[in-house]
Amino acid sequence: MIDHFGINCADYEASTTFYDTVLQVLGYGRVMDFGAAIGYGAEGHPAFWITRWDAGGEQREMHLAFQATDAAAVRAFHEAATGLGAQVLHEPRLWPEYHEGYYAVFVRDPDGNNVEAVCHHGDS
């Protein structure tokens, strides 16, 4: 059900030190690092992300990605969300910058969180 999730960090440097340390003792480490975003996990799968948050304020959106069985399910998620009036952050498409075959859509839920549906094997 859950593919990965992420939080926004007001003190990114302190958060990187914290998560590098506490996740290492559980057997997890940095799997991807984009500078302003780090994915932690094991065996090449980043299941937990931290991201730099410079926008200020108390409320910080959370990111949650649900596993979809295929690209058709990603598109069905998009249709269902937009049918309910969800704001579309990114239309369904391939995201090769994440990895080959990464097909996803991103929308806002009613509380403003960034919610994604993703499959990892293309858009067919």
Domains 2-52 and 63-119 are alike in CATH topology: yes
Assess if CATH 3.10.180.10 describes domain 2-52.
yes
| The amino acid at 4 | H
Burial class (CB in 10 A: 0-12, 13-18, 19+), 111: exposed
Per-residue tens of pLDDT for the chain, all 124 residues: 999 999 999 889 999 999 999 899 899 999 999 999 999 999 999 999 999 987 766 667 899 999 999 999 999 999 999 999 999 999 999 999 999 999 999 999 977 889 999 999 988 6
pTM, rounded to two decimals: 0.81
Residue entry with tokens 């302190």: 14
Tokens, residue 105: 């859509």
**Cα 78 from Cα 86, distance rounded (Å):** 9
Look at domain 63-119 and name its CATH class.
Answer: alpha beta
**Cα 63 from Cα 89, distance rounded (Å):** 12
